[in-house]
Amino acid sequence: PRIWFKKEREKDIKATRDFMELIPKAFPNYKVLYRFKDFRDQKDFPHIKTIYGEIEDLLSSSSVVVSIFSTVILQAAIMGIPVAKLDYNRIEKNPDFLWNIYSKKELIPTVNHMLHAKAKELEKQKLIVNDIIDFVDAPALPRLVEFIEDILR
């Protein structure tokens, strides 16, 4: 569970709204899917249809993943999908990834770069994620271990 200060929550909502405003228009040939962690997160976006299902299935059909820091970023990166952390708050305890989005002006160029990521960049992303996994907080660690074990089966 995460405790948000009001200011932090407002920036996360703004970051999500900026993404929803810009990305579908900038990349019309891609289907943009939204998945909120739970109903509390989705209530701020009642007009957006969210997808449900097993995260592994949803990720396997994704070209890129952009998310406020969560386990899904680590899961996608482990699968070799380019990931970006959407973090207008610049929360120091959240680790940096290869791609990080700290402002509205960075959204389109970052997603565009990720869509054209080179193998060398994905290898670098994997190294970064391996380092991050060493510092994953206790509540997320069992989910991540289970996810990795499912991939290996």
DSSP-derived secondary structure letter, 99: E
Q: Please give the pLDDT value at position 129.
A: 85
pLDDT digits (tens, 9 = 90+) for 24-66: 999 999 999 888 766 556 677 766 767 767 778 888 889 999 9
Q: Please give the pLDDT value at position 82.
A: 96
pLDDT digits (tens, 9 = 90+) for 127-143: 888 877 766 655 666 66
Kindly tell me if the per-residue pLDDT of 8 is higher than 70: yes
**Range name among 3-12, 60-69, 83-92 with the lowest pLDDT average:** 3-12
pTM to 2 decimal places: 0.80
Alpha carbon 90 to chain centroid distance?
Answer: 15
CA angle 132, 119, 117 (to 5 degrees): 85
Q: Which two tokens stand for residue 45?
A: 């976006």
Kindly tell me if the per-residue pLDDT of 3 is higher than 60: no
Kindly tell me if the per-residue pLDDT of 1 is higher than 50: no
C-alpha closest to that of 111 among 12, 44, 47, 30 = 30
Kindly tell me if the per-residue pLDDT of 2 is higher than 50: no
